Amino acid sequence: MKFTLSWLKDHLETEASVDEIVETLIRIGLEVDTVDDPGAKLAAFTVAHVVAAEKHPDADRLQVCTVDTGDGQVQVVCGAPNARTGMKGVFAPSGTYVPGIELMLKKTKIRGVESNGMLVSERETGLSDEHEGIIELPEDAPLGAPIAGVLGIDDPVIDIELTPNRPDCTGVRGIARDLAAAGLGMLKPFDSAAPVEGTYDSPVAWAIADDDNACSYVVGRHFRSVTNGPSPKWVQDRLRAIGLRPISALVDVTNYVSIDLGRPLHVFDAAKIGDTLTMRRARDGEDFTALVEREYTLDGEMTIIGDGATAEAVAGVMGGLDSSCTEDTTDVFLEVALFDPISVATTGRKLQIESDARYRFERGVDPESADWGADVAARMILELCGGETSKPVTAGAMPDWRRSVELSTDRVATLGGVEVAVDRQIAILDGLGFETTQVGEAITAAVPPWRPDVHGEPDLVEEITRIHGFDEVAPVSLDRGAALPPQAITPSQRRTSLVRRVLAAQGLDEAVTWSFMGRAHAELFGDVDALMLANPISSELDAMRPSILGNLLLGAGRNADRGFADVGLFELGPAYRDASPDGQLLVAAGIRHGNAVPAHWSGKARAADALDAKADALAALEAGGAPVANLQIDRDTPAWYHPGRSGGLRLGKNVLAWFGEIHPGVLRRLDVRGPAVGFEVFLDVLPDRKEKSAARPPLHLLALQPVRRDFAFMVDADVEAGAVLRAARGAEKELVSSVDLFDVYEGKNIEDGKKSLAIQVTLQPVEATLTDEEIDAVAKKIVAAVEKATGGTLRG
Amino acid sequence: MTAPDVSELQDSLLAEVAAADSIDVLEAVRVSALGKKGRITEQMKGLGQLDGDARKEAGQALNRVKDAVADAIAARQADLESSALEARLAHETVDVTLTPRPRAGGHLHPVSQVTEECIAIFGEMGFTVAEGPDIEDDFHNFTALNIPPEHPARQMHDTFYLEAADGEPQPVLRTHTSPVQIRTMETSKPPIRVIAPGRTYRSDSDATHTPMFHQIEALVVDETTHMGHLKGCIIDFCRAFFDIPDLPVRFRPSHFPFTEPSMEVDIGCSREGGELRIGNFGEGADNWLEIMGSGMVHPKVLEYGGIDSSKYQGFAFGMGIDRIAMLKYGIPDLRTFFDADIRWLKHYGFVPLAVPSMVRGM
């Protein structure tokens, strides 16, 4: 919503400066987007008289001008072809900044002739691109006067970002009312709304079809013998200043009233319409040619103004080309209607038409303006275009807008947090146009018709506090009610945070990637039929991700393309099974791509492998409180993992994690050069930690030294190391405190189809030092247990 | 027989000890003096031929010599060992300019760190963390927040919808964290004091908007909380978060469907030299940066959440986590947050041990 300072002053009696006005607008909730004061930059530019213009002695195209600035005469060298003796122009003295060419003027010599200042073109002032010659001012322009006033650009333009709840401020008068209530001046009387008597009966009538259309009430007036043409300069200047193009007096009147009072209007050329205009629903597929010379196809949800079978306007959005007013128009029919805001908004959106009328109707115009708007417009049309006007014609009925809201006098204090004296509360409401009555502890406020946004007590509290000033509300720090705060996060939130930090400590960098991905990629990780976006921004982001791994792998691919192939990434966030709240899983997932150990002088580089992913998964699980030592490992992993190089970690029937190499086929589909490994840990299914007490179980430090014995077993190549470890561990539970695998060997000196597994067993005596016989007995048990479990034999 | 003169023996042996230039030579000296056939030992054996006092006197003298020589040998041995060690170490060097073996060290994403910073600050004020799903229903994301069906925010160009079977309501990707307000009110009774951080989605993608971003929401509901508390809470937060005790905070009236009164919150900044900095730049430095929307919870929203609006009231506010992370840590481009560029993650990321806390600073 744009307006100029002088326009505001039509409605507001004020001495306030632009800065004060802007500051107040912001303070009362009318957010100022920009303040544009084109004349401000030209403060030093004045009207000057060229006393003499003579050819430069040394240059054909230059002239030496003697310029009377009103403050004495100066010599200026000028290259403009139109500089001539006797003209009036715009002078910028030395020391002036010339905005159009971004130059600070200095006293200088041009081809040996002194030049003080400049006679400027429009381009040099920054007002336009015109650079054919210097600006020529009328002969009566006052010598020495600042040019902003002479050129009519001394009127600052203020642009407000209007919130949708304030239809009243779509008119300059509404803004003036708010400013006046805030103490910045007096709202002037609304004289232009006085009734205008009609002299004849309108030959055109209104009808509202009984089809549940958007129009509740419409007023019309007929005008005859008008003269349309350019509107007067003051109207044109104002419209231009706020970015509207003057068209003709009749059209300019509708635009002017719309901006001035927030009351949209439309004028039909009465010669181009029949004797009845009907508010009705459009027919599905009905064609409409708008003022802007574009064709639209309408549907049955939209309301139009019909002349017989023809749509002459889309209600509240835009008029039609065929019945529009032109320079030749002599008879006019004025439409002043009330339309349902939602219907106008919906129609405008569907047709993708942004118009000043829609802007106002979709916020909700003042119902009373249907009546007074017709008078305001009639007065202005008669003034600008002559002719005479008919008596008003109407259809429908003005909706009953009258309602009152009760405000308890202490509510501003208890909700707004600021004590405002009751008479001040009442004065503010009165200033905003409410009609108030006080009975005891309550103020009854009759809501003015231009404030459809006010319905309840909090609305009145807002009106009073914003005008009184939010700055007057004293900040009060929250009292947490106890010396120490409660725990801010739940145990599971704390677990999540710990898992995140532990994964970062494993050398993985945390990424945050989209919750969506492209369907073609998403389907590599699960079924996404129930996870498709209806309106994605692109096909690369059209499905909710069933796994985090895809986006991380794509991220690794991008890093590799940039020359950084060795990356470890993790993300802790959602993956989706379906669209229900329970279908959202909290997953910690990570990938390693390229080398897990980089090339270094101390040793060879090592590519990340499935067991790096296993270590990451176990670190996350341990941080998450899972009983890592008791997990079952299986090979039952989903299709995006390498079938032979991946595993699952289970606790009972719950899968807690998967890890392993990513399936090469998946990498190929993602266009990521492999290999890569990854893991997924499902945080929702981790068992809740049962921490009844912070105390740990007692620690028994045994005085007796542990004994270590090494064993190497020859087993079939397909025997899992875990089976050997498990058997050794179980052979003598009382004594075996740990079993560590320290060598896996296949090849030379080992029979084909076999491998050697070497383990170190630690025996922890509890009561007495072990004798050699006891140690040998345990060793035999271990060998027997491994043999029984795996068929392995002790290597000689 | 008279007692032998032992001083000559002592001088002679001490001279040999002093002259020993290796452990081996020193050992030979020790054997020649104190060994079974050593010179002191031999003399000790001869003591038996002396009588009475002379034997006692000579014995004592010999013992003194023995002790003196033994001490000298021990001292000389320590010297020789120390010299030998020094000589060995003189040859043992490592190139200290060599790069050490790399150790893994990853980083936390700024969104995670800043979220935890917010939790640390609001936690001190007695807030707890609430959560809700990303895929929401129309009721929690819009209706219950007093956003009517025709509101522009519900249109396809602002909001992501999921495809649904014919006749089924379309799920929506939550456009703000505010549905967590409703879910919290549905499941708990006042007094309520929660924050809700999380992912949010809007159908928007340009230089300053991404289709996914993060918000943090605060909700307080009780019988007495008013706009003064709203202001106090937000001012306290902003000053703690940006660690600027005199940070100017401005409250402007605005409009949101779910709050009444509503206000936007600006903080002081400077844009000098094209560089945006947060802070207090003095009286009259009229430069403000909008950082959040806030207001007193609309009575209809309380009622939708199952709370009696004639008894309870409160405030709510929400802000962009990514945005305040950018402001605090000088990260220029929102889009880079979600690119997983390893250079960015290492540059803007945080070491995992730096857990935010009000008492230790952050």
State the pLDDT at residue A192.
Answer: 84
Contact flag A532-B126 (C-beta cutoff 8 Å): no
| C-alpha closest to that of A456 among B293, B223, B298, B181 | B298
Segment A46-79, tens digit of pLDDT: 999 999 988 888 888 889 999 999 888 999 999 8
Mean pLDDT of chain B: 92
Measured in whole angstroms, the distance separating CA A159 from the mean position of its chain's CA atoms is 20
Contact flag B129-A552 (C-beta cutoff 8 Å): no
Residues in Cβ contact with A375 at an 8 Å cutoff, skipping those fewer than 6 apart: A192, A193, A194, A195, A196
One-letter amino acid for residue A778 of the chain: V
B173/A contact by beta carbon, under 8 A: yes
Q: Are A298 and A314 in contact (CB under 8 A)?
A: yes
In 3-state terms, what secondary structure has residue A712?
Answer: strand
Q: Taken in order A476, A481, A487, A493, is the CA torsion positive or negative?
A: negative
Q: What are the beta bridge partners of residue A759?
A: A711, A741
**Closest residue, chain A, to B213 (C-alpha):** A514
- What are the distances in angstroms from CA B47 to CA A218, B2, B11, B39? 146, 10, 20, 13
**Closest residue, chain A, to B338 (C-alpha):** A513
A138: preceding bond cis by omega (within 30 degrees): no
Q: B-chain residues within 8 Å CB-CB of A572?
A: 112
Which residue in the block uniquely carries the two structure tokens 């210097």? Answer: A134
Q: CA–CA separation, A341 vs A355, rounded Å? A: 14
What φ, ψ does residue A680 adopt, rounded to 5°?
Answer: -135, 125
Residues in Cβ contact with A282 at an 8 Å cutoff, skipping those fewer than 6 apart: A288, A298, A299, A300, A301, A302, A303, A304, A311, A314
Q: CA–CA separation, A235 vs B352, rounded Å? A: 66
Q: CA–CA separation, A600 vs B41, rounded Å? A: 63
CA Rg, chain B, in Å? 42
Min Cα distance A148 → chain B (Å) is 27
B222/A contact by beta carbon, under 8 A: no
Min Cα distance B272 → chain A (Å) is 19
Q: CA–CA separation, B40 vs B62, rounded Å? A: 7
Q: CA–CA separation, A668 vs A649, rounded Å? A: 26
Q: Are A487 and A439 in contact (CB under 8 A)?
A: no
Q: From the list B155, B254, B352, which residue is nearest A504 (CB)?
A: B352
Contact flag B129-A488 (C-beta cutoff 8 Å): yes
Q: CA–CA separation, A51 vs A86, rounded Å? A: 6
- What are the distances in angstroms from CA B11 to CA A581, A628, B7, B16, B349? 98, 74, 6, 9, 75
Q: A-chain residues within 8 Å CB-CB of B231?
A: 417, 470, 473-476
Q: CA–CA separation, A280 vs A214, rounded Å? A: 8
Residue B75 has pLDDT above 90, yes or no: yes
Q: CA–CA separation, B174 vs B161, rounded Å? A: 9
Residue A691 has pLDDT above 70, yes or no: no
State the pLDDT at residue B58.
Answer: 84
Measured in whole angstroms, the distance separating CA A280 from the mean position of its chain's CA atoms is 37
Segment B188-223, tens digit of pLDDT: 999 999 999 999 999 988 888 999 999 999 999 999
Q: Are A119 and A83 in contact (CB under 8 A)?
A: yes
Q: B-chain residues within 8 Å CB-CB of A482?
A: 126
| C-alpha closest to that of B69 among B100, B96, B38, B47 | B38
| C-alpha closest to that of B326 among B153, B201, B207 | B207
Residues in Cβ contact with A254 at an 8 Å cutoff, skipping those fewer than 6 apart: A264, A265, A266, A267, A377
In 3-state terms, what secondary structure has residue B318?
Answer: strand
Q: What are the beta bridge partners of residue A395?
A: A218
| C-alpha closest to that of B291 among B244, B361, B350 | B244
Q: From the list B125, B296, B313, which residue is nearest A480 (CB)?
A: B125
Complex ipTM: 0.89
In 3-state terms, what secondary structure has residue B155?
Answer: coil
CA atoms within 13 A on the CB side of A584: 17
Segment A102-118, tens digit of pLDDT: 888 888 888 888 899 89
Residue A632 has pLDDT above 80, yes or no: yes
DSSP string, B52-115: HHHHHHHHHHHHHHHHHHHHHHHHHHHHHHHHHHHHHHTT----TTSPPPP-----B-HHHHHH
Question: How does strand A2-4 pair with strand A63-68?
Answer: unpaired
State the pLDDT at residue B284.
Answer: 67
Mark residue A254 as left, alpha or beta (left: phi above 0; alpha: psi -120 to 50; beta: remaining): alpha
Mean pLDDT of A684-688: 89
One-letter amino acid for residue B333 of the chain: D
Contact flag A470-B355 (C-beta cutoff 8 Å): no
Calculated CA dihedral for residues A666, A670, A673, A679, nearest 10 degrees = -60
State the pLDDT at residue B1.
Answer: 45
A405, A418, A478, A548: best to mutate for the B interface, most B CBs within 10 A: A478
Q: B-chain residues within 8 Å CB-CB of A583?
A: 135
**Cβ neighbours of A105 (radius 10 Å):** 19
Which residue in the block uniquely carries the two structure tokens 């606790």? Answer: A651
Q: Are B39 and B33 in contact (CB under 8 A)?
A: yes
Query: H or E element: which one contains A654?
Result: strand A654-662
Q: CA–CA separation, A91 vs A44, rounded Å? A: 8
Segment A393-438, tens digit of pLDDT: 999 999 999 999 999 999 999 999 999 999 999 999 999 999 999 9
Query: H or E element: which one contains A279?
Result: strand A276-281
Q: How many residues are listed for chain B in this entry?
A: 362
Contact flag A473-B251 (C-beta cutoff 8 Å): yes
**Closest residue, chain A, to B266 (C-alpha):** A26
Mean pLDDT of B290-300: 97
B99, B108, B118, B209: best to mutate for the A interface, most A CBs within 10 A: B108
Q: Which domains does chain A have, with CATH numbers?
A: 2-37+156-189 (3.30.56.10), 40-151 (2.40.50.140), 205-396 (3.50.40.10), 404-472 (3.30.56.10), 491-685 (3.30.930.10), 707-794 (3.30.70.380)
DSSP string, B183-233: HHHHH--SSEEEEEEEEEE-S--BTTB-SEEEEEEEEEEESS--HHHHHHH
Residue A651 has pLDDT above 70, yes or no: yes
- B window 55-114, beta carbon within 8 A of A: 98-99, 101-109, 111-112
Quick one: tokens of A212? Answer: 């549940």
Share of chain B above pLDDT 90, in %: 73
User: pLDDT band at B4, cuts 50/70/90?
Assistant: low
Residue B39 has pLDDT above 50, yes or no: yes
Quick one: tokens of B8? Answer: 């000559």
Contacts of range A578-581, beta carbons closer than 8 Å, 24 or more positions apart: A578/A530, A578/A531, A579/A530, A579/A531, A579/A544, A579/B135, A579/B162, A579/B164, A579/B171, A580/B135, A581/B132, A581/B133, A581/B135
Which residue in the block uniquely carries the two structure tokens 């003591």? Answer: B47
Contact flag A473-B205 (C-beta cutoff 8 Å): no
State the pLDDT at residue A265.
Answer: 96
Range with the poorest average pLDDT among A18-32, A46-60, A364-378: A46-60
Share of chain A above pLDDT 70, in %: 99
In 3-state terms, what secondary structure has residue A251?
Answer: helix
Residue B48 has pLDDT above 90, yes or no: no
Q: CA–CA separation, A32 vs B28, rounded Å? A: 103
Quick one: tokens of B28? Answer: 């030979």
Instruction: Decide yes or no: CATH 3.30.930.10 for domain B110-348.
Output: yes
User: pLDDT band at A207, cuts 50/70/90?
Assistant: very high
CA Rg, chain A, in Å? 42
Contact flag B227-A574 (C-beta cutoff 8 Å): no
Mean pLDDT of B260-268: 96
Residues in Cβ contact with A287 at an 8 Å cutoff, skipping those fewer than 6 apart: A295, A296, A297, A298, A311
Residue B361 has pLDDT above 90, yes or no: no
| C-alpha closest to that of A58 among A77, A86, A82, A75 | A77
Q: Taken in order A289, A290, A294, A300, is the CA torsion positive or negative?
A: negative
A505/B contact by beta carbon, under 8 A: yes
A194/B contact by beta carbon, under 8 A: no
A574/B contact by beta carbon, under 8 A: yes
Mean pLDDT of chain A: 93
Which residue spans within A372-440 are E strands per DSSP?
Answer: 388-389, 393-396, 404-408, 435-439
Q: How many residues are listed for chain A in this entry?
A: 796
Query: H or E element: which one contains A465?
Result: helix A457-468
Query: H or E element: which one contains A567?
Result: strand A567-576
B129/A contact by beta carbon, under 8 A: yes
Residue B180 has pLDDT above 90, yes or no: yes
State the pLDDT at residue B245.
Answer: 95
Segment A218-261, tens digit of pLDDT: 999 999 999 999 999 899 989 988 989 999 999 999 999 999 99
Measured in whole angstroms, the distance separating CA A105 from the mean position of its chain's CA atoms is 44
Mean pLDDT of B164-183: 93
